[in-house]
Structure 1
Amino acid sequence: MENLIRIYNNQLKQAFGVLILINIVDQILLSGSLLPNNQFLKIFYTISMLLFVFELFLRIGSEKKVTILTIIDAAVLVNYFLVGTFDLRVLRIFRAYSTFNQHNVLFPANTLLKTVYHQRFALLGSQIMVFSVLLIFSTLIHFIEKDVYPEAFGSIMSSMWFGITTLTTVGYGDITPITNLGKVLAALTMFLGIGMFALPAAILASAYYEEIQKRNFLISLETISKIPLFENLPVGAIGKINSKLHALLVPPHKTIISNGENSDAMYIIEFGAVEVELEKPVILSTGDYFGERGLLLNEKRNATISSKVETKLLKLNKNDLLELMSEHETLFKELAHSSATRSGNNK
């Protein structure tokens, strides 16, 4: 089962993400009769749902928990096999996003979703304030306008429609106050609405910026100079290393290198943690590096290493590392010493 989960994480997960996107496109085209609803598409739909059931169990086994996305996926599958009222495949769009969340192109979207989650209490608080203002305004406009315009303001509930369009500054114009006092109140509420709805936007913008800064894919010279492996190198060497490192954002529980595969790069942990699967597992964290032994000795990988949490890695390819070591003996000595020490500790 563990091997199957590893294959899923390393090879099948993105394939299922592509299948989700194809299903969503299929649903969109079928909704407008842009594609003929033939037998082939029905078979494709059924096979996709069966594969998604298989994928759901694999994902639960991989993540060891049930998430919101898992519940949504289960609801889509239950609807298809047991209810069949609506085609809910489009709800899985967020699963596709999560599948490709390590790709730079989806980095902003996934960061925004995480920002919303992290700021959920602040956003909830701001929306409670908005609802409170809406309730107060709807009550006041009801008392002011109910006698002259009972069709629109005859109750607080009916007044809330006008309150919503006014507070959000949409102003459809289908309902307007008649009395002067009602107009003044509506005008004040419009100005208040601008500020009220700017509040959650400000919360998200600030938190989003902080998240982007925290997980920025641009590697700075300052960041590299703080890595113990490179701290004794001259500024010129650090600048060259900067041009050769590639940043990777790895989700939790994803295999980074597998035992027995060819050694093609070493990795430096900028933040997060990884587990080296040995007889006595080893945890590496911020500032540590791995994968250098296979490059130095020209050997295959001698251990499987996977991420414990979301981890940002700096990847240095084999040819680039060999070039740097030939130019900077200090780097070669540090890597050779580290490799020998680890080899001795693992015996």
Structure 2
Amino acid sequence: MSAVPFSKISTPLNALFATIGLLVVAALTTQGLTGQERLVSELLLAAIWLAYVLQLSGTLLSRRSLSGGMTALVIDLLAVLVPAGAFLFVGSRDRDLYCTIWLLKPLRDSTFFRLLAKVVANESRNLLGVTSVFGIVLFGAALAGYIIERDVQPDKFGSIPQAMWWAVVTLSTTGYGDEIPQSLAGRVLAGLVMMSGIGIFALWAGILATGFYEEVRRQDFVRNWQLVAAVPLFQKLGSAALIEIVRALRPRIVPAGSVICRKGEVGDQMFFIVEGRVTVATPDHPVELGAGNFFGEMALISGDPRSATVSAATEVSLLSLYAVDFQMLSSSSPEIAETIRKTALERRGGASGLP
């Protein structure tokens, strides 16, 4: 059996294996399992571990580049070596617990960590500033709580480290209730600390949310720029015009055999082909268009119904331009609209043309 295909175990399958393994580990911690049930559970863990060994072998044999596959390789190594080391060097009671390292398996191919790292790096100054405020408020609350409550509750507020636990619980607005100020001043202090905690955590959440939004928008812009730049129609446009086009166009993937637009429909958008081929069912004979071509422009410009049905001959990557965006582009960048109109007329030649 070749090990290489195991390197391509899908993320859902990795999640399924990990879920089964973790449920088995949880079951093994319950009381009253018979010897046979424990044996079956151990064998199931061994089977999952063997699948991960084959996946690791496939990853190594596929010779992935370190830059592209280092995270996956590290996770694969940990998933194999940690349980194996526990089996060799840890007592039988706790060695199954080390299989919980498989929690990382569903994340081996995830792009989330790379995105999170970029967001944290971009927003590091703001995050550090809010963290500093959190530390100042935390220590200040513990100090104030110690001064106010040390004589009333010396067992809970007898030192700043003891008061620090109350400050953490209160500042995070968790409120376990194990340490509660008794004096009026202490309760006023607790209310102020709670409100400060709400504000600080809201700042953290706002910074991260804004960072994620900006990074996703930046990545989308770069991807759309690359798609737009691949269309010959736009290659002669300046950078300012390209930016307008990138903001207006919407990427879309259409599977093979799907109908993109039908004859007689009201056309509110035109399409640019980035990759793949489409078939246009014209009255005379079908026409096939490939990357770099566009269709649907006359329905967008004139508002007439579609004159033909267009379907995807292969999986096709499209960029769509809606009529509203086309009108806005016509006002802000007349050269773009003129280029589309001119090219459309040249391609149609006054004949049947495209929908």
For Structure 1 versus Structure 2, the TM-score category normalised by the shorter chain is 0.5 to 0.7
Q: C-alpha displacement at 1:111, in angstroms?
A: 4.2
Counterpart of 1:21 (choices 15, 37, 44) is 15
Whether contact under 8 Å (2:7, 2:54) holds in the other structure is: no
Q: C-alpha displacement at 1:83, in angstroms?
A: 2.4
The 5-angstrom pairing of residues 324-339 of structure 1 reads 325=293
Counterpart of 2:289 (choices 301, 320, 323) is 323
Q: Distance in 1 between matches of 2:163 and 2:172?
A: 14
Q: C-alpha displacement at 1:146, in angstroms?
A: 0.9
Residues 22 and 87 (structure 1 numbering): CA distance in 2 closer, same or farther, change over 3 Å? Answer: farther
**Could you say which residue in structure 2 is the equivalent of 1:211?**
215
SS of the counterpart of 1:174? Answer: coil
Q: What CA deviation, in whole Å up to 9, does each residue of 1:12-42 have, x standing for no partner?
A: 5441645532321112321443995516514
**Could you say which residue in structure 2 is the equivalent of 1:82?**
85
Whether contact under 8 Å (2:82, 2:99) holds in the other structure is: no
Counterpart of 2:151 (choices 147, 161, 166) is 147
Q: Distance in 2 between matches of 1:244 and 1:165?
A: 47
**Could you say which residue in structure 1 is the equivalent of 2:109?**
99
Q: What CA deviation, in whole Å up to 9, does each residue of 1:250-300 have, x standing for no partner?
A: xxxxxxxxxxxxxxxxxxxxxxxxxxxxxxxxxxxxxxxxxxxxxxxxxxx
Are residues 1:50 and 2:53 paired? yes
Are residues 1:189 and 2:193 paired? yes
Counterpart of 1:231 (choices 229, 234, 241) is 234
Whether contact under 8 Å (1:126, 1:199) holds in the other structure is: yes
Are residues 1:198 and 2:202 paired? yes
Aligned residue identity for 1:317: G
Q: C-alpha displacement at 1:57, in angstroms?
A: 3.5
Q: Distance in 1 between matches of 2:12 and 2:53?
A: 15
Q: Distance in 1 between matches of 2:71 and 2:226?
A: 35
Whether contact under 8 Å (2:82, 2:101) holds in the other structure is: no
Q: C-alpha displacement at 1:168, in angstroms?
A: 1.1
Aligned residue identity for 1:138: A
Are residues 1:63 and 2:66 paired? yes
Q: What CA deviation, in whole Å up to 9, does each residue of 1:50-82 have, x standing for no partner?
A: 224425635874225895665454444332111
Residues 98 and 27 (structure 1 numbering): CA distance in 2 closer, same or farther, change over 3 Å? Answer: closer
SS of the counterpart of 1:169? Answer: coil
Aligned residue identity for 1:191: M
Aligned residue identity for 2:190: A
Residues 68 and 160 (structure 1 numbering): CA distance in 2 closer, same or farther, change over 3 Å? Answer: farther
Aligned residue identity for 2:22: I
Q: C-alpha displacement at 1:45, in angstroms?
A: 2.7
**Could you say which residue in structure 1 is the equivalent of 2:353?**
none
Relative to the length of structure 2, the TM-score reads 0.54
The 5-angstrom pairing of residues 124-143 of structure 1 reads 124-143=128-147
Q: Percent identity?
A: 24
**Could you say which residue in structure 2 is the equivalent of 1:307?**
none
Give the structure with higher Rg (CA).
2
SS of the counterpart of 1:322? Answer: strand
Residue ranges of structure 2 left out of the alignment (5+ in a row)? 88-94, 237-244, 255-272, 280-286, 298-341, 347-355
Residues 232 and 203 (structure 1 numbering): CA distance in 2 closer, same or farther, change over 3 Å? Answer: closer
Q: Distance in 2 between matches of 1:59 and 1:207?
A: 35
Residues 78 and 109 (structure 1 numbering): CA distance in 2 closer, same or farther, change over 3 Å? Answer: closer
Q: Distance in 1 between matches of 2:26 and 2:178?
A: 31
Q: C-alpha displacement at 1:227, in angstroms?
A: 5.3
Q: Distance in 2 between matches of 1:68 and 1:132?
A: 36
Whether contact under 8 Å (2:156, 2:162) holds in the other structure is: yes
